[in-house]
Amino acid sequence: MDTQSIKQDYRKHRKAIIVAVSGLLYAGGWTLGYVSAFDTASAAILILAAIVGGYDIAKTAYHEVKSRTLGIKTLVTLAAVGAIAIGSYWEAAAVVFLFALGSYLEGRTMRKTRNALEELLEMTPDTATVRRDGEQKEVPAREVEDGEIVIVKPGEKIPVDGDVVDGESAVNQAPVTGESAPVHKADGDEVYAGTVNQEGALEVRTTGAGSDTTLQRIIQRVEEAQEAQSPTESLIDRFAKYYTPGVLALSIGAYAVTQNAILSLTLLVIGCPGALVIGPPVSIVSAIGNAARSGVLMKGGEHLERAGKIDLVAFDKTGTLTKGETTVADVAGFDAEASDVLELAAIAEKKSEHHLGDAILEAAQDRPAAVTDGGTEAVQADAESAPTEARSVPDPDDFDVVAGKGVIAHQGGREIVVGNRSLLDERDIEIPGEVAEYVREREERGETVVHIVRDGVVIGAIAMRDELREAAPGVVQELQDAGIETVMLTGDNGRVAAAVAEEVGIDDYRAELLPEDKQAVIEEFRDDGHVVAMVGDGINDAPSLATADVGIAMGAAGTDTAIETADMALMADDLERIPYAVKLSKATRWNIYENVGLAVLTVTLLLAGVLTSYVTLALGMLVHEASVLAVIGNGMRLLRY
């Protein structure tokens, strides 16, 4: 081994070496003094042990004093120097060695906690197979350019973010989304770097590589979240600024009254707020690391602590409790052909970006579909005769969106209105009784119905259905079992909302809400004293997510905005992560309380022991360091929650 290697190894293991040398010197010096009469030699070795173990501690203490702050290391340094000054050499060596050993174990444990995401980083392969100039070439994954085709064989890890352009396979997305079951991927589906292709070969068009991948952004966000202080951490930091000088003043006062230097120095040691300061950060870091590995991205300790107080969860309906895959369930024509109703609605909605408009346009392009006349089936789809290509839908001449109500378009001299009852009332359009009856019947099934109006006359209605997520009833029940109230917020009318709420088993619902109305409802809940979490998935939910105490975004993988802005983001569209995240937050809150309680109890008992002469200087330091390791161990339990 050359000199350079020795230097590198020393730098890498410097703290461990210092602790070991200090411990050996302490043991040697104490043994020499105990079994022989070489007191001077014993004292020299013990002082050397204190110097070796205490050099770094004293150096930090010097900088603390220079910056006019008093920290734990200042108290330890004063205790060690004071013990040497009064001839208590073994106490000085013991205090320094125990503190150095505790700091080393603390640092090692904290690194292990903070590196909980290392296994995610290791999921990303270093190289990628790309097709360049008609040939397959292996290149560093970070050098793959946007648009390049990457070939991923069965069993390989996917090296880039991208869209599948050829092949089908099951992909294990657990590192990014936390989903336990593989997800089927085919042409057009999005895949993420770090996930594992399990079955067939895939060709992926790159949309992000190197540091520009969803996994890298998640890791960066988690690291930032782990650094962000929680309210409890901030409070303790402020408390420690006054507490530490207070301990120093108590020690000086005790010496002034008792003239007992050992008592004074022991007060310095046992007064160190080590466990109090280290406890909350370990709990926060462990919980955030655990959540990230389970597909839940927490923004930071502040939001994690707040989530631990949640007593009401508000769900958006579409895309959250439901799959967000709206399809046309039925088309009814009244004094008009159902196919004409669908055609007119598709023209009006062609330039709309609303999911209901997409469903209508898709149904019109895929005709013939199951349509009815006044609710009675009039045209039956015939797979044999169905056209294989999508039908063309004409563009509207002009097009206006009425937020939360519908659209108004003109085409070929006709005015077409597609919307809900509010829009028709607003325009003084009469709804015939048979149409109202049809709409009522479909809405009581939980379907969303829009009216189709041609030149001021209602000529039809289209019923659309968005299937509930299978997990929704179970998730709501689990939250209710945990004592959390559940509410659904939706833009649908009361009949649809009531039908869905009953099917899901939700406690309450609010219907016919525009985005700003949902925001107002959230404010109302907060004014009533609730700590509210809002679960949503779309841009429409952004105001409510921002207003809630904790905004939870669904399906954030691949969505930079959600990752950056949500207080809590579920990487997959997996509702079942919500009870897990809420329970983890509550467990973290209790874990912090346990750590703070343990730290305060330890200092209180030690103080009583010192004042009753049951606790010595070395024993005080031993118990102090044991309490630090105890709160670290307790916090790390959250890694396995």
Active site residues: 316
CB 482 within 8 A of CB 583: yes
For the chain, the maximum distance between any two Cα atoms, rounded to a whole number of angstroms, is 116
Phi, psi at residue 384, to the nearest 5°? -65, -40
| Residues 6+ away with beta carbon under 8 Å from 384 | none
Q: How far, CA to CA in Å, does 500 sit from each of 317, 497, 505?
A: 9, 5, 8
Q: Give the amino acid at 494.
A: G
CB 570 within 8 A of CB 556: yes
In the 8-state DSSP scheme, what is residue 637? G
To the nearest 10°, report the CA torsion of 173, 179, 180, 186.
Answer: -50
Task: Quickly count helices (H) and strands (E) in the chain.
Answer: 23, 24
CB 284 within 8 A of CB 588: yes
Separation of alpha carbons 249 and 577, rounded Å:
50
Q: How far, CA to CA in Å, does 193 sit from each of 227, 289, 299, 327, 442?
A: 25, 19, 22, 32, 44
CB 290 within 8 A of CB 310: no
| Residues 6+ away with beta carbon under 8 Å from 459 | 333, 334, 335, 336, 340, 341, 344, 452, 453
CB 198 within 8 A of CB 172: yes
CB 296 within 8 A of CB 577: yes
To the nearest 10°, report the CA torsion of 305, 306, 308, 313.
Answer: -160
Scan for tokens 């109230």, then name that residue.
485
CB 549 within 8 A of CB 585: no
In the 8-state DSSP scheme, what is residue 295? T
Separation of alpha carbons 218 and 296, rounded Å:
10
How big is the CA angle at 104 (ends 100 and 107), to the nearest 5 degrees? Answer: 135
CB 544 within 8 A of CB 516: no
Separation of alpha carbons 84 and 73, rounded Å:
17
Determine how many CB atoms are found less than 10 A away from the CB of residue 428.
Answer: 7
Separation of alpha carbons 188 and 269, rounded Å:
64
Q: How far, CA to CA in Å, does 40 sit from each of 15, 34, 44, 87, 319?
A: 28, 12, 6, 11, 79
| Residues 6+ away with beta carbon under 8 Å from 192 | 158, 161, 173, 176, 177, 213, 214, 215, 557, 558
